[in-house]
Each structure stands twice: as C-alpha cells, then as structure tokens.
Structure 1
Amino acid sequence: MKIQINEAVEISEEHLRPYPNDEINELPIRKWEGETRVIRNKKQLEWALARMEGEELIGFDTETRPVFKKGHTPGPPNLLQLATADRVFVIQLQHVGLDKGLAKLLADPEVIKSGVAVHDDLVGLKKIYKFTPKGFVDLGQISQQLKMQTHGLRNLSANLLGFRVSKGAQCSNWARDPLSSKQIDYAATDAWISRELYVAFQKLGVF
C-alpha cells in the first residue's frame, strides 16, 4: 500500500504554529481508557494477532529499557505496542520474542502502521527478528513535509488532538516484570495516540 500525501492541502495557521511547553502544560492530560491486553506468552500472542486480522490502521510504538551509562547503547525493544480502534496490545518481547506472526503483520503493506519516529523502533525490532517493514507511516515526517512546527508525539497531540500526555514513565525500566500499572497506561497511550494522530491527519485531508 502506497500512502499518498496531499501536500497541497491547506493547513490552518493554528496547526502550523509551534506549541511551547508552557502552553502544552496548560492542556488537560488524557490517557487510553479502553481495553489493554498485556501479551506475555505465545498463546496470548496468537489470540492478539487473530484480533488484529482485517485491521487497516494500527497505532505503533515500542519501549526500550533506557541506558544511563556513557558509552553503552540501548538493547532491542522490551515492548511492542499495537493499537486498534478498540483495544491496545502491549507485547512483552522478552517473553514472546518477535516471531513470524508478528513479523508478517509488520511486513504487511496492506496494513497501515502509524507512529512517530518509527525508524529507530524498526531498527531495534530487526535486532530481534529480520523482516522488511512495510506499511509504516512516520507522522513526524508527515508534519515536517507539511511545514508544521510540531513533530514529536507530545507536541502533535497538543496540536491536533487538544490534550497532553504524561511522560512520567518514559525513562522507567521497561524490562520490569511485571510491568506497573503506570507503565502499562503510558505504553498503551502512546500506541493509541499514534493511531489517533493518523486519523486526525485524515480529517485534515492529508491522506
């Protein structure tokens, strides 16, 4: 599937302008309130993949345990988050790995996977299992092409969705087992927003 961008679309000045932190901090905080499934074994993964069959748009994100020592590089992602319209799957890769089933979804050109700054996420995932990503849309790159001054997930959320997200769990230990409720909420919210932002761009006539 080739994603066609309507670069001739007229973006309002409100969406083109920057959103400073002090303005973002005045917005209400929102998080994903729907069903979240934490996937930690093969049976659960098979169930999740079956639930995603036929989906045309999936929000995409990953989380990787941060590295604070100088000279050390992060390992592969600990979590892969995938969001449909009514459910978010938080997949603990340290338990289930990235098998052929997941790789098939990530390589399916007919399923749009939308996210922000997806390149590094995909590089990390390919350390676990070699696959050819297809169907990915980087919303940050889209905003740059449209000459918008907001590119990151937090800023785009403020711009296009009118709310902010908490980043309190961003640098937490994503290899933790079990994950805390705060971590699960954070991970699910990022995937949900990645899908919602694509929908917001659709409503603007970008796709």
Structure 2
Amino acid sequence: MQKKTYDWQQLEHSALTPIYVNSNEELQKRCQHWLTLPMIAIDTEFQRVDTFYPIAGLIQIGDDQQCYLIDPLKITDYQPLAELFQANSVLKIIHAGSEDLELFKQLIGVLPKPLYDTQIAAAFLGWGFTMGLQRLLEHTLQITIGKAETTSNWLQRPLTTKQELYAALDVAYLAEVCQQQIKQMQDRNCYPWFLEDSVRNLTVLESVDDDLESDNYYLRFSQLWSVADYKLVALKELSRWRENECRIRNMPRNWLLKNQTIISIINNWPGNTAELGKVEDMRSKNIREDGAAILAILDAAKERLSESGEVQKINKPIDPVWNKRFKKIRQIAVAAAQEQGIAVEILVRKKDLEALVRTRQLYGEYRIPDGLKGWREQLIGDQVLDLMRQFEK
C-alpha cells in the first residue's frame, strides 16, 4: 500500500470545521483528488422510520487531511462517487457498514470496493464481535466520542454544529484504526483470512437480486415448513406481493402486513372479506385497500400449484438433538479461536452448522458447506467432519 500519512489528531481537529460538498461540480472535484489516495474513510447518516428504503441525510468522507460532509439533498449526479467506489486503487474503510452498503447500492448503484470494515477486523483480532465504534476507539486510541446525535434528524437543514461534529468524527479516526489493525493482523498471520472474508462478503452483497429476494422471501417463514403445498404457493405469492408493494409504495413491511399476519392468513385461510377481518392484526385499511388482492392470491394458489407442479420447500427446523451436538462442535471452534486469538463468532455461525447438518440429506454424507469453506475449513474442517461422523455411530 502506498505510504501516506493519516494523522488522526489532525483529522479530529478538522471535524470541528468539516467541508461541505453540496454541488455536483464540487463532488466531481473532490472525487478526482480522492482517486489519488491509497485510502479513504466512509460513513453515512440516514433515516428509515416510515419508508422501505433508507433516506440519505449525509455521506461522510475522511481523507488524509480533512473530513467532508456530502449533502445528498443537494447532489443529483453520483457518477463521480460511483467511479471512486469502484476504483481498486483506493481502499474504502467503514465501520459496521451493512446498512451503509444498502444505502450506497440503492442511492449510487454500486458498492465501495475494496472495502475494509473495522468492526470485522476487530473480531479477527479477538477484541470482540460486533464491536461498536465507541468501544473500538476507546480500545485503539483511548478516546471517547459521544452517541447523543445517533437518532437525531439527519434530513433537517441546517444541521446543528453538534450533528456536523458527530458525523465528521465518524470518519476522522478510521484510517488510523485500519492501519493499526492491519499491522496486528499481519503479525498474527490472520490478515489473509480477513481479506478472504472481505472479498466474499462483498461478492455476496453484489450478487443480491431484488426480484430473486422477493421470490424467496417466503423461505424465511420457518414456522410454516409443514403446510400443504398449495398453502406454500400462497405464502410465496403473498410474500412476493408484499415485497413488491412495499418497494413501490416505499413503506416498511410491517405497515402493509406483519409477518405474523401473513402466518395467520395462511393458517386460517380466509375465504372472504369478513373472514379476512378476523385475521390477527389485520387492519381495516388493509382490507379496504388490499383485501381483494390478498384473497385473489389465496384463490389462485391451487391453480398455480397445478401449473408449476412443485414449489421449493421451506427447510424443516433442525432436530433438537442437534442443540447438544452443536455445543460439542462449538467447543472445537472455541479452542481454535482461542489459539488463533480471534472471536469465535467470526469462525462459526449457527446457520453454517445447520447448513452442515443438511448436507447429508443432499449428498448422502456430511460435507463442509460454503459458509465454512476457505480458511475456516483449513482451521477446523477435519475435526468438525470427524465429530459429525461420530454422531452417527
């Protein structure tokens, strides 16, 4: 990585007077400079109270000299930022960036890469899993920043001085933290693991297809794994209808239909408006505006099933016998994590263990699932598979 000084104390001071970027021309100019740097820190402030999509209030950038506040209420052309985000020569540093990435994808159309998440790096260093920024800065730089503005109104203009400072400080320290973390991960030989996960996580996010997500949302209703096929078809169609409508109307899912309401509809199978009105948490407004569409989905379910022939089943919940077995597998993971000095949660997740159990039904034998491949398989793969085979004796 190109050598360049990122003085966190200078950046901290600059946060007192952050530079606003509030025109397309200014954004173009700044992005040209940022393209020459080895790394930048990024963050966002947004609101998501009564909408499906987050509404951007600010995009913060920290470079080698200054903290910047990009105003999404003034910017109309994000192409320069998209080019910056796609530049492989510039590392983008973020902290706990999942929601920020969702906003970037929706607002700008691309995800920043290469991407470095300081929260994930903290887990690889054994500092803690899902470590907040406040704790991270206390740990690395022995400084304390406040949280008072976290839930303030980021769409108001002008922003308060406290809001500006809070937002700017979020990107003032990340370059220093990143450089410290990289050195420590290299010393511990776990930096290649971190890079592997970073690339894989971003690849997964980039491959997300909204239409496919809508089609498969019903698979999350694990409580309904055993319903009849025609009800499964209705669940799939009803879930897809809600996803599409919420995107079109830009409203939260629960404002249209709560998950529990969908479950009640499928279980009770109302045949008319009166019966629909008896469904749990079914609002009169929903019935008035959307009742006909909901009932039409139920009415057409059996015909759809006969046309398609089959529908993908929801995974049956893992047998409770595996709860004790998972604890034994976790013991292997804990021992390996302690030896390597990483957070055990970054090594093994419950959903990966469940996927491991299901491989036997798919292949006739236990195999390492995708979520445990790579460095995880090298670290504990053989031990885990040996234990799985012992369970079957």
Q: Distance in 2 between matches of 1:79 and 1:95?
A: 10
| Residue of structure 2 equivalent to 1:80 | 59
| Residue of structure 2 equivalent to 1:28 | none
Instruction: Kindly report which structure 2 residues correspond to 1:38-117, keeping only aligned pairs within 5 A, or say none.
Output: 38-65=20-47, 67=49, 73=52, 75-97=54-76, 99-117=78-96
| 3-state SS of paired residue (2:42) | strand
Native 8 Å contact 1:65 1:75 kept in 2: yes
> Which residue identity does 1:158 align to in structure 2?
E
Divergent runs of 4+, >4 A? none
The structure that is strand-richer by fraction is 1
Q: Distance in 1 between matches of 2:185 and 2:125?
A: 12
* CA offset digits 1:146-185 (Å, max 9, x no partner): 2222622111000001011111111111111122211111
Q: Larger Cα Rg: Structure 1 or Structure 2?
A: 2
Instruction: Kindly report which structure 2 residues correspond to 1:183-202, keeping only aligned pairs within 5 A, or say none.
Output: 183-202=163-182
Q: Distance in 1 between matches of 2:125 and 2:175?
A: 19
Structure 2: segments with no counterpart, 5+ residues? 2-10, 192-393
> Given the superposition, is the C-alpha separation of residues 60 and 132 from structure 1 closer, same or farther in structure 2, using an over 3 Å criterion?
closer
| Residue of structure 2 equivalent to 1:168 | 148
| 3-state SS of paired residue (1:169) | coil
> Which residue identity does 1:166 align to in structure 2?
G
> Given the superposition, is the C-alpha separation of residues 98 and 157 from structure 1 closer, same or farther in structure 2, using an over 3 Å criterion?
farther
Q: Distance in 2 between matches of 1:59 and 1:92?
A: 16
| 3-state SS of paired residue (1:147) | coil
* CA offset digits 1:61-107 (Å, max 9, x no partner): 1101252x6xx556232211110121111101121046111011112
Q: Distance in 2 between matches of 1:83 and 1:136?
A: 14
Q: Distance in 1 between matches of 2:45 and 2:71?
A: 10
Pick 1 or 2: higher relative contact order, CA cutoff 8 A, min separation 6: 1
Q: TM-score normalised to the size of structure 1?
A: 0.76
Structure 1: segments with no counterpart, 5+ residues? 2-30
Deviation at 1:191, TM superposition (A): 0.9
Q: TM-score normalised to the size of structure 2?
A: 0.42
Deviation at 1:200, TM superposition (A): 2.4
Native 8 Å contact 1:77 1:121 kept in 2: no
Q: Distance in 2 between matches of 1:183 and 1:51?
A: 26
| Residue of structure 2 equivalent to 1:23 | none
Q: Distance in 1 between matches of 2:161 and 2:48?
A: 19
Q: Distance in 2 between matches of 1:85 and 1:143?
A: 22
The structure that is helix-richer by fraction is 2
Give the root-mean-square deviation of aligned CA atoms.
2.2
Q: 1:119 aligns with which of 98, 102, 107?
A: 98
* 1:128 matches 2:107: yes
> Which residue identity does 1:87 align to in structure 2?
Q
Q: How many residues are matched? A: 175
| 3-state SS of paired residue (2:136) | helix
| 3-state SS of paired residue (2:12) | coil
Q: Percent identity?
A: 23
